[in-house]
Amino acid sequence: MRIRIEVLLLMFACGFEYVSCHETIVGRNFAFAEKQLRFGLTEVEAARRVKKNCKSTQSDTLKMVNPRSLNPDRTLHLVASKDWTSGFFPGELWYMYEYTGDKFWKKKADESTKLIKQEQWNGKTHDMGFKMYCSYGNGFRLTQNQQYKKILIQSAKTLSSRYNKKVGCLRSWDHSTNNWEYPVIIDNMLNLEILFWATSVTGDSSYYKIAVNHAKTTAKNHFRNDYSSFHVVDYDTITGNVIKKTTHQGFSDGSAWARGQAWGLYGFTMCYRETRNPEFLEQAKHIANYIFTQSNLPKDLIPYWDFNAPNIPNEPRDVSAATVIASALYELSTFDRENSTVYINRANAIIENLTTSYRSEPRQNKGFLLLHSTGSKPANVEVDVPLVYADYYFLEALLRKNKLGKAAENIE
Ligand code: GLY
Protein backbone atom coordinates (compact mmCIF):
# COMPACT_ATOMS: atom_id res chain seq x y z
CA MET A 1 0.00 0.00 0.00
CA ARG A 2 2.78 2.36 1.01
CA ILE A 3 4.63 1.75 -2.26
CA ARG A 4 1.46 2.38 -4.22
CA ILE A 5 0.92 5.75 -2.57
CA GLU A 6 4.51 6.72 -3.32
CA VAL A 7 4.09 5.71 -6.97
CA LEU A 8 0.90 7.78 -7.16
CA LEU A 9 2.68 10.76 -5.61
CA LEU A 10 5.50 10.37 -8.09
CA MET A 11 3.03 10.26 -10.97
CA PHE A 12 1.42 13.38 -9.56
CA ALA A 13 4.84 15.10 -9.40
CA CYS A 14 5.29 14.38 -13.09
CA GLY A 15 1.82 15.61 -14.01
CA PHE A 16 0.43 12.03 -14.27
CA GLU A 17 2.95 11.31 -16.99
CA TYR A 18 5.59 9.45 -15.04
CA VAL A 19 6.08 6.84 -17.73
CA SER A 20 6.45 9.36 -20.51
CA CYS A 21 8.57 11.64 -18.22
CA HIS A 22 11.49 9.39 -19.10
CA GLU A 23 10.98 10.18 -22.73
CA THR A 24 11.59 13.91 -22.34
CA ILE A 25 15.06 15.38 -22.13
CA VAL A 26 14.25 16.55 -18.59
CA GLY A 27 13.03 13.09 -17.59
CA ARG A 28 16.01 11.36 -19.15
CA ASN A 29 18.44 13.67 -17.40
CA PHE A 30 16.77 13.22 -14.03
CA ALA A 31 16.76 9.44 -14.54
CA PHE A 32 20.50 9.70 -15.20
CA ALA A 33 20.98 12.03 -12.21
CA GLU A 34 19.08 9.62 -9.92
CA LYS A 35 21.57 6.84 -10.63
CA GLN A 36 24.62 9.05 -10.83
CA LEU A 37 23.94 10.95 -7.60
CA ARG A 38 23.13 7.76 -5.69
CA PHE A 39 26.54 6.53 -6.79
CA GLY A 40 28.02 9.94 -5.95
CA LEU A 41 26.54 9.78 -2.45
CA THR A 42 28.31 6.51 -1.72
CA GLU A 43 31.57 8.11 -2.87
CA VAL A 44 30.97 11.26 -0.80
CA GLU A 45 30.00 9.32 2.31
CA ALA A 46 33.09 7.12 1.99
CA ALA A 47 35.32 10.19 1.52
CA ARG A 48 33.76 11.91 4.55
CA ARG A 49 34.56 8.83 6.66
CA VAL A 50 38.20 8.87 5.52
CA LYS A 51 38.52 12.56 6.37
CA LYS A 52 36.88 12.00 9.76
CA ASN A 53 39.55 9.46 10.67
CA CYS A 54 42.25 11.97 9.89
CA LYS A 55 43.16 13.72 13.19
CA SER A 56 44.12 17.08 11.69
CA THR A 57 40.61 17.66 10.37
CA GLN A 58 38.58 17.14 13.52
CA SER A 59 37.43 20.68 14.28
CA ASP A 60 34.12 21.82 12.78
CA THR A 61 35.64 24.55 10.66
CA LEU A 62 38.11 22.16 9.07
CA LYS A 63 35.78 19.22 8.64
CA MET A 64 35.49 18.24 4.95
CA VAL A 65 31.81 17.97 4.21
CA ASN A 66 30.60 18.33 0.62
CA PRO A 67 32.05 17.67 -2.83
CA ARG A 68 33.37 20.40 -5.12
CA SER A 69 35.33 18.71 -7.91
CA LEU A 70 37.92 16.06 -8.65
CA ASN A 71 41.53 16.43 -7.55
CA PRO A 72 44.26 16.09 -10.21
CA ASP A 73 44.66 12.43 -9.15
CA ARG A 74 40.89 11.97 -9.84
CA THR A 75 40.03 11.52 -6.15
CA LEU A 76 37.06 13.40 -4.77
CA HIS A 77 37.73 16.98 -3.71
CA LEU A 78 35.63 17.53 -0.58
CA VAL A 79 35.47 21.00 0.95
CA ALA A 80 34.86 22.45 4.40
CA SER A 81 31.63 24.36 5.02
CA LYS A 82 33.39 27.72 4.65
CA ASP A 83 34.21 27.03 0.98
CA TRP A 84 31.98 28.99 -1.41
CA THR A 85 30.82 25.76 -3.07
CA SER A 86 29.69 23.88 0.07
CA GLY A 87 25.96 24.49 -0.51
CA PHE A 88 25.67 23.20 -4.07
CA PHE A 89 25.67 19.48 -3.32
CA PRO A 90 22.86 19.76 -0.76
CA GLY A 91 21.11 22.00 -3.31
CA GLU A 92 21.34 19.26 -5.93
CA LEU A 93 19.86 16.76 -3.49
CA TRP A 94 16.96 19.15 -2.81
CA TYR A 95 16.39 19.46 -6.56
CA MET A 96 16.29 15.65 -6.79
CA TYR A 97 13.67 15.64 -4.05
CA GLU A 98 11.72 18.37 -5.84
CA TYR A 99 11.60 16.41 -9.11
CA THR A 100 11.05 12.90 -7.77
CA GLY A 101 9.15 13.49 -4.52
CA ASP A 102 11.22 10.60 -3.14
CA LYS A 103 11.87 10.87 0.62
CA PHE A 104 15.30 9.31 0.13
CA TRP A 105 16.51 12.57 -1.42
CA LYS A 106 14.87 14.66 1.28
CA LYS A 107 16.75 12.72 3.97
CA LYS A 108 20.07 12.97 2.14
CA ALA A 109 19.54 16.66 1.35
CA ASP A 110 18.75 17.41 4.98
CA GLU A 111 21.88 15.58 6.17
CA SER A 112 24.13 17.39 3.70
CA THR A 113 22.50 20.76 4.40
CA LYS A 114 23.00 20.50 8.16
CA LEU A 115 26.73 19.99 7.69
CA ILE A 116 27.12 23.67 6.78
CA LYS A 117 24.89 25.13 9.52
CA GLN A 118 27.72 27.07 11.12
CA GLU A 119 28.10 29.24 8.02
CA GLN A 120 25.16 31.35 9.17
CA TRP A 121 27.66 33.13 11.45
CA ASN A 122 30.51 33.40 8.97
CA GLY A 123 30.84 37.09 8.12
CA LYS A 124 34.26 36.71 6.52
CA THR A 125 32.96 36.16 2.99
CA HIS A 126 30.21 37.34 0.64
CA ASP A 127 29.42 33.80 -0.48
CA MET A 128 26.54 33.38 1.97
CA GLY A 129 23.95 33.24 -0.79
CA PHE A 130 25.77 30.56 -2.75
CA LYS A 131 26.23 28.50 0.39
CA MET A 132 23.02 28.99 2.32
CA TYR A 133 20.37 29.86 -0.23
CA CYS A 134 21.18 26.92 -2.53
CA SER A 135 21.04 24.54 0.44
CA TYR A 136 18.83 25.87 3.26
CA GLY A 137 16.92 28.12 0.85
CA ASN A 138 15.80 25.25 -1.36
CA GLY A 139 15.22 23.13 1.72
CA PHE A 140 12.93 25.75 3.25
CA ARG A 141 11.06 26.32 -0.03
CA LEU A 142 10.31 22.59 -0.27
CA THR A 143 9.66 21.73 3.38
CA GLN A 144 8.78 24.94 5.26
CA ASN A 145 11.12 23.70 8.02
CA GLN A 146 11.13 26.55 10.56
CA GLN A 147 14.60 25.69 11.76
CA TYR A 148 15.92 26.29 8.24
CA LYS A 149 14.09 29.62 8.16
CA LYS A 150 15.80 30.79 11.34
CA ILE A 151 19.20 29.84 9.95
CA LEU A 152 18.50 31.63 6.66
CA ILE A 153 17.48 34.84 8.42
CA GLN A 154 20.65 34.79 10.51
CA SER A 155 22.64 34.18 7.29
CA ALA A 156 21.09 37.25 5.67
CA LYS A 157 21.88 39.29 8.78
CA THR A 158 25.51 38.17 8.72
CA LEU A 159 25.81 38.91 4.99
CA SER A 160 24.36 42.40 5.50
CA SER A 161 27.25 43.22 7.83
CA ARG A 162 29.47 43.33 4.73
CA TYR A 163 27.59 46.28 3.24
CA ASN A 164 29.30 49.66 2.94
CA LYS A 165 26.90 52.60 2.49
CA LYS A 166 29.48 54.88 0.90
CA VAL A 167 30.32 52.31 -1.79
CA GLY A 168 26.76 51.01 -2.13
CA CYS A 169 27.95 47.39 -2.29
CA LEU A 170 28.63 44.32 -0.22
CA ARG A 171 32.33 43.62 0.03
CA SER A 172 33.28 40.42 -1.79
CA TRP A 173 36.70 39.37 -0.58
CA ASP A 174 38.80 40.01 2.52
CA HIS A 175 41.93 38.38 1.07
CA SER A 176 44.67 40.05 -1.01
CA THR A 177 44.43 43.40 0.78
CA ASN A 178 47.65 44.40 -0.99
CA ASN A 179 45.78 44.17 -4.32
CA TRP A 180 42.42 45.69 -3.53
CA GLU A 181 40.96 48.06 -0.95
CA TYR A 182 37.29 47.06 -1.31
CA PRO A 183 36.86 44.41 -4.02
CA VAL A 184 33.43 43.67 -5.44
CA ILE A 185 33.12 40.83 -7.95
CA ILE A 186 30.35 40.26 -10.48
CA ASP A 187 29.65 36.85 -8.87
CA ASN A 188 28.33 38.73 -5.84
CA MET A 189 25.06 39.38 -7.69
CA LEU A 190 24.01 35.82 -6.87
CA ASN A 191 24.32 36.47 -3.15
CA LEU A 192 21.54 39.05 -3.28
CA GLU A 193 18.72 36.52 -3.57
CA ILE A 194 18.89 35.54 0.10
CA LEU A 195 18.54 39.24 1.03
CA PHE A 196 15.36 39.66 -1.05
CA TRP A 197 14.02 36.51 0.56
CA ALA A 198 14.86 37.77 4.07
CA THR A 199 12.82 40.95 3.54
CA SER A 200 9.90 38.95 2.20
CA VAL A 201 9.74 36.75 5.31
CA THR A 202 10.70 39.27 8.02
CA GLY A 203 9.19 42.50 6.66
CA ASP A 204 12.53 44.20 7.41
CA SER A 205 13.24 46.24 4.27
CA SER A 206 16.92 46.79 5.06
CA TYR A 207 17.92 43.56 3.30
CA TYR A 208 15.98 44.53 0.19
CA LYS A 209 17.56 47.99 0.12
CA ILE A 210 21.06 46.58 0.36
CA ALA A 211 20.36 44.16 -2.49
CA VAL A 212 18.90 46.88 -4.73
CA ASN A 213 21.76 49.30 -4.02
CA HIS A 214 24.33 46.61 -4.68
CA ALA A 215 22.69 45.72 -8.00
CA LYS A 216 22.46 49.38 -9.06
CA THR A 217 26.10 50.09 -8.19
CA THR A 218 27.14 46.94 -10.05
CA ALA A 219 25.13 47.91 -13.14
CA LYS A 220 26.82 51.30 -13.06
CA ASN A 221 30.44 50.25 -12.58
CA HIS A 222 30.95 46.66 -13.64
CA PHE A 223 29.85 46.94 -17.26
CA ARG A 224 31.51 48.15 -20.43
CA ASN A 225 29.67 49.84 -23.29
CA ASP A 226 29.03 46.49 -24.97
CA TYR A 227 27.57 45.08 -21.69
CA SER A 228 30.40 42.66 -21.09
CA SER A 229 31.53 42.88 -17.49
CA PHE A 230 34.71 43.30 -15.53
CA HIS A 231 35.34 40.65 -12.93
CA VAL A 232 36.59 42.74 -9.99
CA VAL A 233 35.83 46.40 -9.28
CA ASP A 234 37.83 47.95 -6.46
CA TYR A 235 36.34 50.87 -4.48
CA ASP A 236 37.64 53.65 -2.26
CA THR A 237 35.66 53.40 0.96
CA ILE A 238 36.20 57.08 1.87
CA THR A 239 34.88 58.56 -1.38
CA GLY A 240 32.92 55.60 -2.74
CA ASN A 241 34.74 56.07 -6.07
CA VAL A 242 36.05 53.28 -8.24
CA ILE A 243 39.80 52.77 -7.85
CA LYS A 244 40.28 50.20 -10.59
CA LYS A 245 38.58 47.54 -12.69
CA THR A 246 40.47 44.26 -12.94
CA THR A 247 40.19 40.50 -13.17
CA HIS A 248 41.09 37.55 -11.02
CA GLN A 249 39.80 34.54 -12.93
CA GLY A 250 39.57 36.02 -16.43
CA PHE A 251 42.22 36.23 -19.15
CA SER A 252 42.89 39.95 -18.69
CA ASP A 253 41.41 43.03 -17.02
CA GLY A 254 39.69 43.96 -20.27
CA SER A 255 38.45 40.48 -21.19
CA ALA A 256 35.07 38.84 -20.68
CA TRP A 257 35.45 35.93 -18.29
CA ALA A 258 32.71 33.50 -19.32
CA ARG A 259 31.33 32.61 -15.89
CA GLY A 260 31.34 36.29 -14.95
CA GLN A 261 29.02 37.03 -17.88
CA ALA A 262 26.83 34.15 -16.73
CA TRP A 263 26.65 35.44 -13.14
CA GLY A 264 25.66 38.86 -14.44
CA LEU A 265 22.88 37.46 -16.62
CA TYR A 266 21.53 35.29 -13.85
CA GLY A 267 21.88 38.00 -11.20
CA PHE A 268 20.07 40.79 -13.05
CA THR A 269 17.29 38.43 -14.18
CA MET A 270 16.78 37.41 -10.54
CA CYS A 271 16.87 41.07 -9.42
CA TYR A 272 14.11 41.87 -11.93
CA ARG A 273 12.02 38.99 -10.58
CA GLU A 274 12.39 40.35 -7.04
CA THR A 275 11.93 44.07 -7.77
CA ARG A 276 10.21 44.44 -11.17
CA ASN A 277 12.60 47.33 -11.76
CA PRO A 278 12.78 47.65 -15.59
CA GLU A 279 16.44 48.76 -15.40
CA PHE A 280 17.37 45.29 -14.18
CA LEU A 281 15.45 43.62 -17.00
CA GLU A 282 17.16 45.86 -19.54
CA GLN A 283 20.54 44.96 -18.04
CA ALA A 284 19.79 41.23 -18.31
CA LYS A 285 18.61 41.60 -21.91
CA HIS A 286 21.79 43.46 -22.86
CA ILE A 287 23.99 40.83 -21.19
CA ALA A 288 22.17 38.03 -23.04
CA ASN A 289 22.66 39.96 -26.26
CA TYR A 290 26.38 40.35 -25.56
CA ILE A 291 26.86 36.62 -24.90
CA PHE A 292 25.03 35.43 -27.97
CA THR A 293 26.56 37.88 -30.42
CA GLN A 294 30.16 36.86 -29.69
CA SER A 295 31.89 35.24 -32.65
CA ASN A 296 33.94 33.31 -30.09
CA LEU A 297 30.88 31.55 -28.72
CA PRO A 298 31.13 28.01 -30.13
CA LYS A 299 28.31 26.59 -32.25
CA ASP A 300 27.22 24.27 -29.44
CA LEU A 301 26.82 27.34 -27.14
CA ILE A 302 29.16 25.97 -24.44
CA PRO A 303 31.54 28.93 -23.92
CA TYR A 304 35.29 28.85 -23.73
CA TRP A 305 36.42 29.86 -20.25
CA ASP A 306 36.89 33.47 -21.42
CA PHE A 307 35.37 35.07 -24.51
CA ASN A 308 38.76 36.67 -25.20
CA ALA A 309 40.98 33.71 -24.36
CA PRO A 310 44.03 33.98 -26.62
CA ASN A 311 44.11 30.53 -28.24
CA ILE A 312 40.49 29.92 -29.15
CA PRO A 313 39.54 27.32 -30.44
CA ASN A 314 42.30 25.59 -28.47
CA GLU A 315 41.07 26.68 -25.07
CA PRO A 316 39.12 24.77 -22.40
CA ARG A 317 35.37 25.19 -22.21
CA ASP A 318 33.44 26.17 -19.13
CA VAL A 319 30.33 24.04 -18.78
CA SER A 320 29.48 25.81 -15.51
CA ALA A 321 29.05 29.08 -17.42
CA ALA A 322 26.75 27.27 -19.84
CA THR A 323 24.49 25.81 -17.14
CA VAL A 324 24.18 29.17 -15.33
CA ILE A 325 23.30 30.83 -18.66
CA ALA A 326 20.71 28.16 -19.51
CA SER A 327 19.01 28.44 -16.14
CA ALA A 328 18.97 32.25 -16.39
CA LEU A 329 17.57 32.19 -19.94
CA TYR A 330 14.59 30.03 -18.95
CA GLU A 331 13.74 32.58 -16.29
CA LEU A 332 14.40 35.57 -18.56
CA SER A 333 12.02 34.05 -21.13
CA THR A 334 9.18 34.54 -18.66
CA PHE A 335 9.87 38.28 -18.34
CA ASP A 336 10.97 39.40 -21.80
CA ARG A 337 8.02 37.94 -23.66
CA GLU A 338 9.01 39.50 -26.96
CA ASN A 339 12.22 37.47 -27.07
CA SER A 340 11.07 34.48 -25.09
CA THR A 341 11.25 32.04 -28.00
CA VAL A 342 14.83 33.02 -28.72
CA TYR A 343 15.87 32.55 -25.08
CA ILE A 344 14.11 29.20 -24.80
CA ASN A 345 15.61 27.86 -28.01
CA ARG A 346 19.09 28.85 -26.86
CA ALA A 347 18.63 27.32 -23.42
CA ASN A 348 17.22 24.16 -25.01
CA ALA A 349 20.21 23.94 -27.33
CA ILE A 350 22.57 24.23 -24.36
CA ILE A 351 20.72 21.47 -22.50
CA GLU A 352 20.67 19.22 -25.55
CA ASN A 353 24.38 19.68 -26.23
CA LEU A 354 25.29 19.11 -22.60
CA THR A 355 23.21 15.95 -22.61
CA THR A 356 24.75 14.49 -25.73
CA SER A 357 28.38 15.61 -25.44
CA TYR A 358 29.32 16.76 -21.92
CA ARG A 359 27.76 14.23 -19.54
CA SER A 360 29.80 11.81 -17.47
CA GLU A 361 29.60 8.10 -18.17
CA PRO A 362 27.37 6.45 -15.53
CA ARG A 363 29.19 5.50 -12.30
CA GLN A 364 32.31 7.41 -13.36
CA ASN A 365 33.81 10.70 -12.15
CA LYS A 366 32.75 10.14 -8.53
CA GLY A 367 29.12 10.84 -9.37
CA PHE A 368 29.46 14.26 -10.99
CA LEU A 369 26.95 14.79 -13.78
CA LEU A 370 28.83 17.01 -16.23
CA LEU A 371 32.45 17.22 -17.40
CA HIS A 372 34.53 20.05 -18.89
CA SER A 373 34.17 23.02 -16.54
CA THR A 374 36.90 25.49 -15.69
CA GLY A 375 37.35 26.95 -12.21
CA SER A 376 40.35 29.24 -12.65
CA LYS A 377 42.45 29.05 -15.78
CA PRO A 378 44.94 31.78 -14.74
CA ALA A 379 45.69 29.87 -11.54
CA ASN A 380 45.72 26.60 -13.49
CA VAL A 381 43.29 25.20 -10.94
CA GLU A 382 40.25 23.11 -11.89
CA VAL A 383 40.79 23.25 -15.63
CA ASP A 384 38.56 20.93 -17.68
CA VAL A 385 37.03 19.14 -14.71
CA PRO A 386 33.59 18.43 -13.27
CA LEU A 387 32.41 21.18 -10.89
CA VAL A 388 29.56 20.83 -8.42
CA TYR A 389 28.02 24.18 -9.36
CA ALA A 390 27.84 23.19 -13.04
CA ASP A 391 25.71 20.23 -11.95
CA TYR A 392 23.59 22.32 -9.58
CA TYR A 393 22.61 24.87 -12.25
CA PHE A 394 22.09 22.04 -14.76
CA LEU A 395 19.43 20.49 -12.51
CA GLU A 396 17.97 23.93 -11.82
CA ALA A 397 17.76 24.65 -15.57
CA LEU A 398 16.01 21.30 -16.12
CA LEU A 399 13.49 22.08 -13.38
CA ARG A 400 12.85 25.51 -14.86
CA LYS A 401 12.37 23.98 -18.29
CA ASN A 402 10.01 21.43 -16.80
CA LYS A 403 7.94 24.13 -15.10
CA LEU A 404 7.66 26.04 -18.37
CA GLY A 405 6.17 22.84 -19.82
CA LYS A 406 4.90 23.18 -23.36
CA ALA A 407 6.17 26.75 -23.53
CA ALA A 408 9.74 25.45 -23.31
CA GLU A 409 9.53 23.26 -26.40
CA ASN A 410 11.59 24.32 -29.40
CA ILE A 411 9.58 26.66 -31.56
CA GLU A 412 11.91 27.13 -34.51
N1 GLY B 1 32.22 32.58 -7.46
C2 GLY B 1 33.46 32.06 -7.81
C3 GLY B 1 33.54 31.56 -9.19
O4 GLY B 1 32.63 31.72 -9.99
O5 GLY B 1 34.57 30.97 -9.51
> Measured in angstroms, how far is the CA atom of residue 251 from the centroid of ligand 1?
14
* Atom from ligand 1 closest to the CA of residue 185: 1
* Atom from ligand 1 closest to the CA of residue 375: 5
Greater pLDDT, 406 or 242: 242
Which whole number is the average pLDDT over 371-376?
98
84 lines ligand 1 (CB under 6 A): yes
Q: Class of 2-411 per CATH? A: mainly alpha
pLDDT tens for each residue of 265-284: 999 999 999 999 999 999 99
> Measured in angstroms, how far is the CA atom of residue 320 from the centroid of ligand 1?
10
Residue 4: pLDDT band with limits 50, 70, 90: very low
Residues involved in catalysis? 127, 187
Helix axes 340-357, 388-404, angle to 10 degrees: 130
* Averaged confidence pLDDT in the chain: 94
Residue 142 is predicted with a pLDDT of 98
> Measured in angstroms, how far is the CA atom of residue 82 from the centroid of ligand 1?
14
Work out the percent of the chain whose per-residue pLDDT is above 90: 89
Using CA positions, which residue lies closest to atom 1 of ligand 1? Answer: 187
187 lines ligand 1 (CB under 6 A): yes
382 lines ligand 1 (CB under 6 A): no
Work out the percent of the chain whose per-residue pLDDT is above 70: 92
Burial pattern 271-290, b for ≥16 Cβ within 10 A else e, equals bbbbbeeeebbebbbbbbeb
pLDDT tens for each residue of 43-96: 999 999 887 666 554 566 679 999 999 999 999 999 999 999 999 999 999 999
Residue 243, SS3?
strand
Residue 412 is predicted with a pLDDT of 57
Residue 62 is predicted with a pLDDT of 74
